[in-house]
A and B are shown apart, each in its own frame.
Chain A
Amino acid sequence: MDAILQGLMTGLTPVNLLFAFLGCATGIIFGALPGISSAMGVVLLLPFTYGMEPTSAIILLVTNFCGSTFGGSITSILFATPGTPESVMTVLDGHPMHKKGQGGKALGLAVSSSVMGGLFSALMMVVLCVPLSKVAMEFGPAEYVALGILGVTAIAGLGSGSMLKTLISGCLGLVLATFGTDEITGTVRFSFGSSEFVNGVHFIPVMIGAFALSEVFMQAIELRQRNNQAQQYNTSIKVEFMSWAEFLRYKWVLLKSAVIGMVVGILPGTGGTIASVLAYSEVVRSSKEKEKFGTGMPEGVIAPETANNASTGGAMVPTLTLGIPGSGTTAVILGAFIMHGMRPGPLLFQMQPTLLYAVFISMIIANVMLFIGGIYGVKIFAQVSRFPYYLQGPLILLLCFVGSYALGVDIFNSWIMLVAGVVGFFMKKYKFNVAALVLGLVLGSLIEENIRKMMIISGDDWTVFFTRPIAGPIFLLAAAALLWPQIQNLIERRKAGGK
């Protein structure tokens, strides 16, 4: 308790509050710019921390991480171009809300749920840091497969069109995830004789192409059909935060997404992107209006935004308590600890508990600051929405290009984005489901690699997936998620037949 209080005092000193604010503000800007990921944002700030006191330096970097995780949602909602990988799922319902003239509401919900998710995980971390890190160590390949399968079950419920077309889109995403070097055998798959495919197909260019690029192509056609009279979106964007009534309506979505985000964040090798995908899947799965997702459902913004910010607190747990970074960003933060003469791990908790609690307290402060930063960040980017579409469209394309090219400093990713843009265009025209494609692409490698790892470990015994104490119940949940809607339909039909 003393350490928590000392951490609180350290985190609340004026200097550390200033660094928390700076970290948060720069994070929002970095996050909103495609091409600058959370990890790159932290790297950009790293040189500024060389001469700083260690606690302030870590606070600056960690709050930057929190800010950038939210910042990506601004461009996701306004331009269908995710600023960071963590905000990919926000595009699905956030941009349609903007198109319906509810951009301010979508942004307000994104800020509110990001703050709540971040606060929840930071508060939980203060209390549960050590026991949670022990639970995370119990997660093996079977549990990762179970999580992935649970996420994939949501594909069946996505979108309002044909369920078969949605499932086909999901399969295409899962296949696309297998392109490139197989991490277990080293075999290069689907390279078609080109060395460019050796590293596989990254989901970011596919996502940007399928959503943003195809949208500009569509607009070009629609503008021509309307004789260049652009569809008027609500350009005077006023951020509308979540009201008390909305908080009560969406309390379970918020709680479930925050828990998913925090737990997934703790697991090494996952992070905010997987957390937001799983939270979105869960909200679709448990919704009574599955068919409306992708058309501008508030829950479709709340769930991924709560989860990705909740994952920031979670991701710090293995980094600080075990010295195992769960993602690229936390790996850079781990490097910053070492640079400042500290080695994260079990000993850090005994040697410098004040520092650790000061970091968590700063994350709480950073999340509160997101409210203020969010409003100003949104206002800056909302100015672009006032331009006529013939200026907005090319600007979106330039952002798309920067985002895809900077990913691997490789023009090949931009070609992938273009192909994805054309494929996305046809998918939208023929009512296939782009969201299902992306869901399959993000979760595909997680499922495949862990199935094969588990089969090697168990000596080809399939039953291990269902007999492990954590994996078994998750698989049951996935099966229930898939079968329950069918059973419900059957019951309703019988009831209707009886009447």
Chain B
Amino acid sequence: MKFQKSLLYFFCAFVGFLLFAKGQYFPLAPQGDSLFKQKIVLNERSEKANIHFTHKNDFFLSERFIEASKKILPFYNSISASVSVVDINNDGWQDFFVPSPSPNSKSHLYINQKDGTFVEKAVEYGLAQLSSPVRAGFFDCDNDGTQEILLTSYKCPSLYQNRGGKYQRIFKFPEPCTFAMGFNILDYDKDGLLDIAIAPFSRTLPNSWHSASNGPGGLMLYKNMGHCKFEADTNHLREPAKHYTHAIGVADLRNLNRQDLWAATDFNRDRIFFQNEDGGYSQAQEVLKKPKAHNGMSVSAAYVTNQKYPSIYISQVYEPGYSIFGNQLWTFDGQQFVDSAKERKINNCGWSWGSKFSDINNDGLVDLVVANGFISTTTGINYWDKIGRFIFASKRYLNNPWNWMSFEGASWSGHQRDCIFMNQGADFVNIAEQIHFDEDLRDGRGLATIDTLNNGKVGFIVANQRQKLSYYQNETESGNNWIGLKLIGTTSNRDAIGASVEAELSNGERKKYSHYPFNGYSAQSDSRIHIGLGKNNLKSIRVKWPHGLNELYTHLKMNQYNTLIESKGKLIETLSY
């Protein structure tokens, strides 16, 4: 009797706590209008827009593999879907390119027809049949007004240039080089020529889930020597450690007018590189407060509120019972980076990949879209159940494919719905289910923003791994004001990458944006800056150009795109570098 009574007390106390914890930490999602007041409309319009692209990645075929690796082929073929938004023909309308790495597949280049539809023209541009392409970055490396392409593949990265209407390879990065999803374009030495930061991600297996030391290499800088010739620059950055890097983000982390780098690292802690006064980089140590999630996938940066420092969003793996910390939102507090993703309710989005901040409803608060899902199948077998059989072992055991469990058609965090986190000021609310976003639960990877109709309604393209591409047209009728900016550098790099913009609104509020379209995961977003103004009017725009000019632009037109040319504004000051 005493035992039963004790058991009852024990049980009641524990259940009581669980109920308390559920209310505190896992509030049930509110439904309907109480969730988010404004009606957000993001419709999947790929069929209507004439987009018919299915990503194919069977680069790693079973016959090429040793017996041991065959059983985990889905894992090897799991990360290569990317998308690049670019105005390739300089007509002022955004086009996009999606590579497909399978040997017999075709990459697609969609040209914007200015009516919400696209026409596929990869063959015409010489971009249909490339050698195992995984990610493309369009940028103007010689400041001539046309876009060159940095193309990474399962082999060495290459540079392509438009010659007579067709793209041709003009530069191949020297050996040793490897497959890379993570790169960013920046002008770190501020010489007016865009440089490249790149980090490899190999197909070897990690020797640890949290402190892997057998990755393919560290972060590297390639300096633009002019005429689109690049040379490895170990003077500015040298990282001998071997990591698995998924993405490289660029941001002025400490508000010092620098271009700091954040490497989203899988199987280890993220690495942060602060830019020094002389332009070189030093790895920052112990600046993250209690970083527990070690599966960094993408890096996005934004001023989430009117704060001094930008916040860095790192997508991670979230799986109850296994990996419980989820995505992170790091913000510098003057000494350390503090994660506030849980407080802002943006930490849980499954196995997250591409992420992008954008003001969906032009209310002046940047929202967040996250693509997710790793490997989806229909067998009902869950690879998380199998993983416990082999991850609890020594490092030597883990990086040998013989010791991994066979997939046998298993899903691994598959069939997950992408997230749309609407910014409410203090926190965010995920409305993806409410608006039927990502109904097919595809395995999203690269995620880019695109304003197809130049109407200030920013939509999204999600490159899904080995699945159909998702194209979301933003059809939200918010009635809010907005302004779009196309920046053209003259002494700075022509793409104005690295510029920062501050908009002053009629109510005195200031909104800050930085121009790094390659931030995120395996994607290049709309190269124009889009700023939601809410019901306010615009007073002025202040641009800090990468080369140091600080200019003020007034009399700009709201609710349309404005072209700002460096040195054509009212000069406020010239920042020394």
Q: Do these two chains really belong together in a complex?
A: no
Residues of A within 8 A of B (CB): none
